[in-house]
């Protein structure tokens, strides 16, 4: 959804404007640039307001002051940035979200990126603030006939022009291009997850992914005939009770500088795209089943990520692959007790048709590994309810056969606020999915449900470095945060974009 914010950058000379946003640390000092701008009388007004409201400059605390007569602006917004330590570790994206929430009915706002000494005022910080403002303003209301409340900036639909005043606006304008690529990628992922399941079936989802062609992403859509020929029977078994045809979409972005003779090995991202999960014959209870429209959040993240990487022309070769199916009960649906032969040749006994995500991913992981020989594979899936029991909605579960990859994901999580928590894998867990009748079964019982699901996937990745992110808790039914008010969070796009940027792109 297009935000109603128009964000630009300019030098620290601030024009007359509606709302002026300033930053104050816990020492409550007014910075030099701010002093220059609002003058001695202005500083007096601010100081009086700070003390009257007992404002302590705490991180993300906000004070809105209607400007007295004689001021060029209508409102002053003071945003707390905390003490030295907090300033050094500040999350500028999150802060952008906080700022966006203070704009009220303003039509124009100026943000003066200045503050205490430890406070960053560089182009990256400015662009991060802009990204946070934009993500905060995201709404999914295309199916609402009624209009929004114009006096609540969290709901406003009037255009707001924001200017971020920064030392080097030219540099900020350069950095914002990459941030906008990521912002659009997050919004795309949120849109896909929020869409209702009668609109977003596998065919429509594939069509939306195909739009990435405009950015230079190569798209291959495999239909049921091709999937049958390839032998993805585990994936097809999940979709066999649905009227809707299954699809696998392969997205390729080749941004690495071509090296002489050899093509640089790609990295690969794989997403679970169950467009609706009824559970199949092992049908789910009615309560909350509507949430299962979000069971394609892994696939949505991969599409959002491919958008981000292509739009910012990331210098890396990437394969994105998504398995799109609908899990329905039907006279032709898969049964508990069925045995299917996966693409890998390994046979699977279906114990519970509601453990369908692993069946989809097993085939796609195997296919990607064999076809593209990637240097690593990361899959994302709303795979288990058990991960919500283990980690709540704070962290995604991380399972990996490679410590370096796991550590890098952890670092990217810390940097973006999209945190991952590593969970164990091991032979004892693996044994829990051995089957009496086939090579494995698709559930391992109630205990350690997220772990046995990950062990299942591990049987399809060979020796390739691999990480599995169980995002059932982080991608949907999201608690509101400073940068997201929507049901879908778009979780993972910023994390994986950061992972790629920090570790896998060619350097100039
Ligand atoms: N899509 C669900 C997992 C899920 C649950 C996602 C809640 C988001 C929120 C998955 O396909 C599923 O049904 N898993 C089962 C596995 C069980 C049958 C072994 C589960 O978690 O109960
Ligand atoms: Mn299920
Ligand atoms: Zn599912």
- Is the distance from the beta carbon of residue 357 to the nearest atom of ligand 1 less than 6 Å? yes
Distance (angstroms) between ligand 1 centre and the Cα of 448 equals 13
With the most atoms of ligand 1 within 8 angstroms of its CB, the residue from 384, 447, 451 to mutate is 384
- Which residues make beta-bridge pairs with 324? 247, 273
- Is the distance from the beta carbon of residue 184 to the nearest atom of ligand 1 less than 6 Å? no
Q: Which ligand is nearest to the CA of 272?
A: 3
Distance (angstroms) between ligand 1 centre and the Cα of 377 equals 22
Q: Which ligand is nearest to the CA of 432?
A: 1
- Is the distance from the beta carbon of residue 418 to the nearest atom of ligand 1 less than 6 Å? no
Distance (angstroms) between ligand 3 centre and the Cα of 272 equals 8
| DSSP string across 188-250 | HHHHHHHS-TTT--HHHHHHHHHGGGGGT-EEEEE-HHHHHHHT-HHHHHHHTTSSSPPEEEE
- Is the distance from the beta carbon of residue 325 to the nearest atom of ligand 1 less than 6 Å? no
Q: How far apart are CA 188 and CA 493, in angstroms?
A: 10
477: left (phi over 0), alpha (psi -120 to 50) or beta: left
Closest ligand 1 atom number to CA of residue 356: 11
DSSP class of 393: T
Distance (angstroms) between ligand 1 centre and the Cα of 277 equals 9
pLDDT score at 371? 98
Structure tokens at 445: 């019982």
Helix (H, G, I), strand (E, B) or coil at 357: helix
Residues near ion ligand 2 (CB < 5 Å) are: 277, 354, 356
Distance (angstroms) between ligand 3 centre and the Cα of 293 equals 9
Q: How far apart are CA 492 and CA 474, in angstroms?
A: 9
Dihedral angle computed from the Cα positions of residues 9, 12, 16 and 17, in that order, rounded to the nearest 10 degrees: 40
pLDDT score at 146? 78
Task: Just list the catalytic residues.
Answer: 284, 358
pLDDT score at 260? 60
- Is the distance from the beta carbon of residue 393 to the nearest atom of ligand 1 less than 6 Å? no
- Is the distance from the beta carbon of residue 386 to the nearest atom of ligand 1 less than 6 Å? yes
Q: Whose CA is nearest to atom 8 of ligand 1?
A: 472
pLDDT score at 1? 40
pLDDT < 50 positions in the chain: 1-3
pLDDT score at 176? 98
**Contact (Cβ atoms closer than 8 angstroms) between residue 130 and residue 176:** yes
pLDDT score at 262? 55
With the most atoms of ligand 1 within 8 angstroms of its CB, the residue from 293, 385, 392, 451 to mutate is 385
- Is the distance from the beta carbon of residue 363 to the nearest atom of ligand 1 less than 6 Å? no
pTM for the full predicted model: 0.96
Closest ligand 1 atom number to CA of residue 443: 19
Buried b (16+ CB within 10 A) or exposed e, 256-274: beeeeeeebebbbbbbbbb
DSSP class of 475: S
Rg (CA), the chain: 25
Residues near ion ligand 3 (CB < 5 Å) are: 274, 277, 295, 357
Distance (angstroms) between ligand 3 centre and the Cα of 385 equals 9
Q: How far apart are CA 471 and CA 382, in angstroms?
A: 5
Dihedral angle computed from the Cα positions of residues 174, 176, 178 and 181, in that order, rounded to the nearest 10 degrees: -140
- Is the distance from the beta carbon of residue 163 to the nearest atom of ligand 1 less than 6 Å? no
Q: How does pLDDT run across 273-311, given as a tens digit for each residue?
A: 999 999 999 999 999 999 999 999 999 999 999 999 999
């Amino acid at each position: 959804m297009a935000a109603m914010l128009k964000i630009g950058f300019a030098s620290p000379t601030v024009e007359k404007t509606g709302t002026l946003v300033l930053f104050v640390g816990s020492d409550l000092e007014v910075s030099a640039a701010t002093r220059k701008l609002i003058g001695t009388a202005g500083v007096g007004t601010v100081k009086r307001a700070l003390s009257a409201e007992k404002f302590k400059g705490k991180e993300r605390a906000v004070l809105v002051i209607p400007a007295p007569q004689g001021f060029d602006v209508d409102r002053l917004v003071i945003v707390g940035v905390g003490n030295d330590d907090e300033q050094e570790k500040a999350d500028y994206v999150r802060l952008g979200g906080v700022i966006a929430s203070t704009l009220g009915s303003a039509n124009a706002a100026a943000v003066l990126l200045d503050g205490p000494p430890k406070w960053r005022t560089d182009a990256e910080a400015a662009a991060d603030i802009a990204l946070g403002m934009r993500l905060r303003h995201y709404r999914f209301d295309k199916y609402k006939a009624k209009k929004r409340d114009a006096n609540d900036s969290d709901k406003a639909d009037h255009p707001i022009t924001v200017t971020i005043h920064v030392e080097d606006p030219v540099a900020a304008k350069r950095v914002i291009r990459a941030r906008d690529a990521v912002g659009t990628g997050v919004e795309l992922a949120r849109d896909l997850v929020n869409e209702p399941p009668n609109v977003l079936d596998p065919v429509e989802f594939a069509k939306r992914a195909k739009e990435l062609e405009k950015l230079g992403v190569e798209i291959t859509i495999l239909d049921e005939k091709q999937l049958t020929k390839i032998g993805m029977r585990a994936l097809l078994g999940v979709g066999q009770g649905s009227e809707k045809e299954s699809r696998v979409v392969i997205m390729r972005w080749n941004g690495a500088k071509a090296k002489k003779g050899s093509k640089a090995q790609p990295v690969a991202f794989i997403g679970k795209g169950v467009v609706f999960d009824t559970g199949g014959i092992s049908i789910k209870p009615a309560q909350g089943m509507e949430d299962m429209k979000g069971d394609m959040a892994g696939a949505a993240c991969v599409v959002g990520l491919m958008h981000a990487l292509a739009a910012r022309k990331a210098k890396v070769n990437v394969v994105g692959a998504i398995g799109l199916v609908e899990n329905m009960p039907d006279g032709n649906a898969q049964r508990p007790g069925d045995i299917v032969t996966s693409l890998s040749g390994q046979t699977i006994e279906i114990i519970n048709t509601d453990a369908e995500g692993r069946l989809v991913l097993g085939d796609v992981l195997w296919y990607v590994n064999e076809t593209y020989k990637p240097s690593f594979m990361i899959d994302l899936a709303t795979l288990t309810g058990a991960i919500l029991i283990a980690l709540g909605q704070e962290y995604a579960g991380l399972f990996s056969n490679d410590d370096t990859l796991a550590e890098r994901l952890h670092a990217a999580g810390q940097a973006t606020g999209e945190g991952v928590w590593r969970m164990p894998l091991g032979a004892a867990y693996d044994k829990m999915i051995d089957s009496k009748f086939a090579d494995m079964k698709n559930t391992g019982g109630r205990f350690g449900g997220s772990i046995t699901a990950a062990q299942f996937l591990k049987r399809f990745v060979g020796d390739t470095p691999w990480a599995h992110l169980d995002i059932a808790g982080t991608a949907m039914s999201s608690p509101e945060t400073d940068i997201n008010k929507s049901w879908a969070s778009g979780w993972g796009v910023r994390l994986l974009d950061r992972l790629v940027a920090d570790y896998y792109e060619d350097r100039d």
